[in-house]
Amino acid sequence: MQALHPNVITGVTLPRRAVTTAVLVVGFALITAAAAQIRIPLPGTPIAVTGQTFGVLLAGAALGSRAGAGSMLLYVSLGAIGFPFFAGGESGWTYATGASFGYLVGFVVAAGLIGRFAEQRRDRAIRTAIPAFLLGSAAVYTLGVTWLWATVDAIPTFGAALSAGLYPFIAGDLVKAVAAGLLLPAAWYVVKRADS
């Protein structure tokens, strides 16, 4: 496993060794699994409100594109083979490839995308961090809603997929993106102050 990217916060504050990267990849997979246990079911949709996307946003920003995406791939893989890591303690291949599959793939893509933005130092200022996190969230919903529309018989139109898989979650994910967009620049401010 490669060392952390030198521009991401963990690459600046922690030893840039393969073992450090491995521990962080596993750690963020477990953080996302823990956040998935915060589950609020909604009527009319097979997708529940969870804390997962906050873990995805932080994994990408903290680890960079490769390690962030790797962390989410590990999270999805462990859930698919039977660890109770998905929303509400769900697990298994059938769940992983069901209605949530597009969102799970979106987690990997979003962590990689946000990680790339972090490598470009876009997580260091609020004015660039919040848009980066919003784009990461958009990646999750693009894949998630498209999968719902393509595979769930009870969702016959793209409009119905938007109603079931996007609209109920916009407010919560705006809050998560803003929270991450404030947290990362604040963390960078502390790191810079400690170095000066």
Least confident residue range of 3-7, 9-13, 30-34, 183-187: 3-7
Can you give the pLDDT at residue 194? 85
Q: Domains in the chain, start-ordered, CATH in brackets? A: 9-36+47-191 (1.10.1760.20)
**pTM for this predicted structure:** 0.94
Report pLDDT digits (tens) over 139-194.
Answer: 999 999 999 999 988 888 999 999 999 999 999 999 999 999 999 999 999 998 88
pLDDT(103) > 70: yes
pLDDT, greater one: 154 or 24: 24
Cα–Cα distance, 22 to 74 (Å, whole number):
11
Report pLDDT digits (tens) over 44-79.
Answer: 888 888 889 999 999 999 999 999 999 999 999 999
